[in-house]
């Protein structure tokens, strides 16, 4: 099967300083709050080691059948301005796709500008690209809500 790819970017001006935004982006408990794309999806962190070379393992999906697993590997952590990680999504032991995620936090007059760039590759067809995009759209909306409560 042909590998399908896409890249999408989210940019937000946020009324939090980079130092206050950073833990929302990198702490496993905080990421579990905003990482599930909608209320019908559960996200459970099985392990988390947020350091360069560290890995995270999460299970996600509908609450009654969280059949998807996410494996994150951290490559760059420059607190509080940027982070880079890869994420592989699997189901039933089969890799469905992978992404390279770059988080960039720049101070501005009102707090910070957040730029999230996601480069994705689907190993199972073009529809998986839409799943990645939809997941990130929902996660970013959740992050916006979480930030508004800070």
Range of the domain at 71: 4-148
DSSP conformational letter for 81: T
Sign of CA dihedral 45, 46, 49, 53: negative
Whole-model pTM?
0.94
Check whether 13 has a pLDDT greater than 80: yes
Nearest Cα to Cα of residue 117 among 137, 95, 102, 139? 102
pLDDT tens digit string along 94-106?
999 999 999 999 9
Cα separation, 113 vs 131, in Å, equals 26
pLDDT tens digit string along 23-58?
999 999 999 899 888 778 888 999 999 999 999 999
pLDDT tens digit string along 124-145?
999 999 999 999 999 999 999 9
Provide the mean pLDDT of the chain: 94
CATH number, domain of 25, equals 3.30.530.20
> What is the total count of domains within the chain?
1
């Amino acid at each position: 099967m042909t590998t399908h790819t896409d890249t999408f970017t989210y940019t937000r001006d946020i009324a939090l300083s980079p130092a206050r935004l950073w833990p929302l982006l990198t702490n496993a408990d905080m990421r579990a709050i905003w990482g599930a794309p909608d209320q019908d999806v559960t996200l459970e962190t099985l392990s988390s080691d947020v350091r360069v070379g560290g890995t995270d393992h999460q299970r996600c999906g509908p609450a009654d059948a969280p059949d998807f697993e996410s494996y994150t590997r951290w490559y760059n952590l420059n607190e509080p301005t940027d982070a880079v990680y890869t994420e592989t999504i699997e189901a039933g032991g089969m890799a469905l796709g992978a992404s390279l995620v770059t988080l960039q936090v720049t101070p501005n007059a009102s707090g910070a500008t957040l730029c999230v760039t996601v480069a994705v590759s689907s190993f199972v067809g073009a529809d998986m690209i839409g799943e990645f995009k939809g997941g990130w759209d929902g996660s970013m909306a959740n992050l916006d809500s979480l930030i508004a409560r800070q």
